Amino acid sequence: MYDQLPLDGMPRRLYSCTPSRLNSWLDCRRRYRFTYLDRPQPAKGPAWAHNSVGASVHNALAAWWREPYDRRTPLTAAVLLTNGWITEGFRDAEQSAQWLGRARDYVTGYTGTLDPSDDPVGVERTVATRTRVIAVSGRIDRLDRRGDELVVVDYKTGRRPLTSDDARSSLALAVYAIAASRMMRTPCHAVELHHLPTGEIVEWRHTDESLGRHLRRAEEVATEAATADERYREVMSAAPRPGAASRRSPAVPVTPTRPASPASPGSAATVPAAGEHPGLGQAATEPIAAAGSPGPAASASRSLPGTPYAPATPPAAPPPELDEIFAPNPGPLCSWCDFRRHCPEGRTAAPERRPWDGLAE
């Protein structure tokens, strides 16, 4: 049977993605490969405590809007947070309890500023759109209607103060605004970051031109990533298949590379839609997510807190060509990478962090 020849002028298949996937390609191509291409996926490190805080707060605020109108009170927000508190990543039960108290203050103070009768257009709302290059989707923390326009609202719980530049430069927020406008057939130019620890709201109002620039940038990144994805599949399909006993790598001994935190009973298995690493405007820890990237209801458990990394066969060394295409981007953020244990360059570039080091003490 003859292979089908490519036809000149045929449209290329749309690249399906989330903003988290695009940002992952920009941040570090090796981490992109570990997250979206390598299967089985390399084992991740322990859960981060700051992600547990973010996920718990996001989940509580989403549940608060689903309550009947007369139950949308600050007290209800505190109860929802307590019932859904995620204990993974903390140093011990005492630290977890201290941060539960802080997070209660976050949600009670924040919900006290909201009008419970002003129902949002969407809570944890998935939006999507497509162009000739990409099919992009993502989940918005909250979508408000202000007058005749929509506003994208994104909750933040990180320790770093936010500025208008964070809202202006966010590829994710711009894509959400475009997708929401197209789906709802309603203008959407305003995006907001709500920083719960300080109560500050940072807003940016896009123009049609600035949204268009973000969308074109997303298409450029997607084109690069799609080309790399295709080459990855070609190279891996031609590579020898692992599985023969003589070619199996020996098991890795159980040796933790990051101090472990004591396990706490009753922990939930959720992570933030937008996990925030210190110094990052967005997680991303996307972990949009990311599908795409996972949202707040997705699992945050990578290995149980208080236990060393599970025994695992290390990922086989990729063909040299793939290591060049998906080259690492060593820097300070390597301290917070979930795949740090698999990246010698990252371990050299930045020091090891404990799972609770991202908390603002």
Residue 48, pLDDT score: 98
C-alpha 32/C-alpha 313 separation (Å) is: 20
Domain count, the chain: 1
C-alpha 276/C-alpha 322 separation (Å) is: 29
Residue 314, pLDDT score: 58
Residue 179, pLDDT score: 98
Classify residue 46: in a domain, yes or no: yes
């795949």: which residue's tokens? 339
CA distances from 92 to 120, 145, 258, 261, 357 (A): 37, 42, 15, 6, 13
C-alpha 257/C-alpha 207 separation (Å) is: 47
- Cβ atoms of 199 and 207 within 8 Å: the answer is no
C-alpha 231/C-alpha 220 separation (Å) is: 17
Pairing of strands 188-195, 149-156: parallel
Classify residue 242: in a domain, yes or no: no
Q: Where are the beta strands (DSSP E) in the chain?
A: 15-17, 122-130, 134-146, 149-156, 188-195, 200-205
Classify residue 260: in a domain, yes or no: no
* Omega within 30 of 0 (cis) for the link into 74: no
Residue 212, pLDDT score: 98
Classify residue 47: in a domain, yes or no: yes
- Give the per-residue SS3 of 53-103: HHHHHHHHHHHHHHCCHHHCCHHHHHHHHHHCCCCCCCCCHHHHHHHHHHH
- Look up the domain containing 121 and give its range: 12-232+268-361
DSSP for 206-259? Answer: --HHHHHHHHHHHHHHHHHHHHHHHHHHHHHHHSPPS--GGGPPPPPP---SS-
Our CA angle for 71, 77, 80, nearest 5°, is 100
Residue 316, pLDDT score: 67
Q: Which of 214, 209, 211, 190 is nearest to 201 (CA)?
A: 190
Classify residue 258: in a domain, yes or no: no
Q: Which of 44, 326, 281, 338 is nearest to 155 (CA)?
A: 281
Quick one: tokens of 204? Answer: 């940016």
Q: What is the pLDDT of residues 246-265, one digit of tens each?
A: 444 454 444 444 444 444 44
Our CA angle for 240, 242, 243, nearest 5°, is 135
Classify residue 19: in a domain, yes or no: yes
Q: What is the pLDDT of residues 52-77, one digit of tens each?
A: 999 999 999 999 999 999 999 999 99
- Cβ atoms of 47 and 355 within 8 Å: the answer is yes
Residues in the chain where the model's pLDDT stays below 50: 1-3, 244-249, 251-311
Classify residue 7: in a domain, yes or no: no
What's the CATH code of the domain at 51?
3.90.320
What's this model's pTM, rounded to 2 decimal places? 0.78
Residue 360, pLDDT score: 83
Cβ neighbours, 10 Å, residue 265:
6
C-alpha 269/C-alpha 283 separation (Å) is: 18
Residue 239, pLDDT score: 80
Classify residue 111: in a domain, yes or no: yes
